Amino acid sequence: MKNRPVHAVLGALFLLLTLSLSAQEQIGFHTDNYSGINSIRLNPAGYAQSPYGWDINLGEAGFFFDNNYVFIRPASVSSLLQNGETANFIFAPDQKGELPLGTNDYLIDFNSDGKKRYLYHNAQILGPSFFVKLNQSNYVGVSTGFRTAGSASGITESLSYYTYHATPFYQDIAIDKFNMGFLSWGELGLNYIHKTETQDGDLAIGATVKHLTGFEAGYFYSDSDWSLQKRPNDTLSSESTTLYMGYTNSNLSATDVTPSPNGNGWAFDLGVTYTISSYADEYDWKFGASLLDIGRIKFNKNAKSHVVQTDQLAKVALDNYDQYKEIGQLEDLVAQFSQDVQNDPNASINDTQFSVWLPGAISLQAERAITPSLFVNATWLQGLPMGKPGVRRGAVLAITPRLEKKWYGISFPVSIYNYQHLRTGFALRLAFLTIGSDHLGSLVHRSKFAGTDIYMAIKLNPFGLQGLFKKRGGGHRVHRSGRKGKEFKCYEF
């Protein structure tokens, strides 16, 4: 029995690995009160508690990838980089019994736990960005960035490697409706925060409006459940199937990938933070809620959409696809598929434009200040299915203890990704430089490797500019005044 279905999934997996450039949510960094304009990635009202009157991000980048289909063991990012070209990858299903592994040996294996399969990557490079505090109540910020995101969700367990290959000929394989998508885009955002004092603290409402430039996109999804059968001679068959697919083709035949604007769109983020304070410049509790990446991009240049539909038995011989080995042959592959299913290589062509939804999400945050420098943050983020075609966001539930000072900060996020994988992370901020990971084990510990996460940022803010901006924790720590009889803080200049 041949392994072409698995090879196709593995090829897609490692293609996304090469395209990924940034971390998932960067919990260890974006919850820091000194993260400034970078915090709007989690909540557009996030920097309302910044101790400074302005903040500039020079650059932020990293890497995130995760899946529950295939894994490599025993592996880590550091060991894979160290071994480089000497690494020896062994295909686990071809082995019989336990295989002794050398220091350069890595076993490629597949999960078989009855769960639906997913694959996610999220990439973002936050470019030159800044915020300015206009007065006690109003803040304005500008952000620039380049992002890529890819997802495959709802993949039925029947397509897991071991389950699929154990299924006999002519037995129906149930395929649930699924969604796969990829998107790369640039964004220019305008952020505004209005902050007001309440009886017990402060209320800040923030919004970011983003103009989007779409570069590349692709999607493949089914709106309904269906089934297929394995047949002899490496053939698949199915009845009553409708599949939707589309892609941009501006870089399919290029030797070097070059950014090509193929569409435009708009998106927005909304957020709110509420603090409960005993002192004028310190809070006891902080609560937040946000909606992120609500919008889509319309691709109307170098774009094609296809609909493959059949109401009768269709057979696909996988041998016909051996010749398609490069991304530049994608359109020939789609034409071959249309021929096999609809007896016409052009029958699937639907339109020369399509729209793709961003990976929208909802997030809730709660934070307790144990001391003026020690915090414990809880963050929940859940992807929202905005529509099809689109890219879906994974879910994150994290608890993050954090030590926060002016010149340095340390955080230790403990998170559950997609309600399945428990991770521990670490982030270190030294003056203007931050490095971290929400999945530290994947970088240094050789184990079951199915994804990783790493990020860094460099920024500027007014360290030590006395007399111009108030300092968090400076002055005399006295109570607030207000309807509860608290006093305002007296600041030192």
Share of the chain above pLDDT 70, in %: 88
Residue 474 scores a pLDDT above 60: no
- What pTM was estimated for this model as a whole? 0.87
Residue 421 is predicted with a pLDDT of: 81
Rg (CA), the chain: 25
- What pLDDT digit, counting tens, does each position of 382-392 carry? 999 899 999 99
Residue 95 scores a pLDDT above 80: yes
* Strand, helix or coil for residue 37: helix
Residue 337 scores a pLDDT above 80: yes
Residue 480 is predicted with a pLDDT of: 55
- What pLDDT digit, counting tens, does each position of 372-417 carry? 999 999 999 999 989 999 999 989 999 999 999 999 999 999 999 8
Tokens of 191: 């952020």
pLDDT tier, 462 (very low <50, low <70, confident <90, very high otherwise): confident
6 sits in which H/E element: helix 4-19
Residue 346 scores a pLDDT above 90: yes
pLDDT tier, 229 (very low <50, low <70, confident <90, very high otherwise): very high
- What pLDDT digit, counting tens, does each position of 135-191 carry? 999 999 999 999 999 999 889 999 999 999 999 999 999 999 999 999 999 999 999
Q: How far is Cα of residue 105 from the mean position of the Cα atoms in its chain?
A: 30
pLDDT tier, 254 (very low <50, low <70, confident <90, very high otherwise): low
Contact 190, 208 (CB under 8 A): yes
Geometric angle at alpha carbon 20, from 43 and 110, rounded to 5°: 110
Residue 477 is predicted with a pLDDT of: 47
Contact 24, 396 (CB under 8 A): yes
- What pLDDT digit, counting tens, does each position of 291-331 carry? 999 999 999 999 999 999 887 788 899 998 999 988 889 99
pLDDT tier, 333 (very low <50, low <70, confident <90, very high otherwise): very high
Contact 139, 47 (CB under 8 A): yes
Highest mean pLDDT, choosing among 123-127, 196-200, 206-210? 206-210
Residue 490 scores a pLDDT above 70: no
Q: From CA 266, how far away is CA 282, in angstroms rounded?
A: 36
Q: From CA 358, how far away is CA 298, in angstroms rounded?
A: 11
Q: From CA 359, how far away is CA 128, in angstroms rounded?
A: 23
Question: What amino acid is encoded at 256 in this protein?
Answer: D
Q: From CA 287, how far away is CA 274, in angstroms rounded?
A: 5
Residue 487 scores a pLDDT above 50: no
Tokens of 406: 């002016």
Q: From CA 42, how far away is CA 404, in angstroms rounded?
A: 18
Residue 268 is predicted with a pLDDT of: 98
Q: Is 398 exposed, middle or buried (0-12, 13-18, 19+ CB in 10 A)?
A: buried
Mean pLDDT of 437-460: 92
Residue 385 is predicted with a pLDDT of: 87
Residue 39 is predicted with a pLDDT of: 95
Give which of 271, 290, 267 is closest to 390, Cα–Cα. 267
299 sits in which H/E element: strand 285-299
Give which of 334, 148, 340 is closest to 246, Cα–Cα. 334
The domain locations on the chain are 4-65+114-460, 70-110
Q: From CA 472, how far away is CA 36, in angstroms rounded?
A: 13
Tokens of 438: 């929400």
Exposure of 230 in the CB half-sphere (CA atoms within 13 A): 17
Q: From CA 211, how far away is CA 267, in angstroms rounded?
A: 7
Q: Determine phi and psi for 319, rounding to 5 degrees.
A: -60, -25
Question: What amino acid is encoded at 141 in this protein?
Answer: G
Could you say which of 2.40.160, 1.20.58, 3.40.140, 1.10.10 is the CATH number of the domain covering 4-65+114-460? 2.40.160
Tokens of 424: 């521990």
**What Cα–Cα distance (Å) separates residue 389 from each residue in 8, 20, 358?**
21, 20, 9
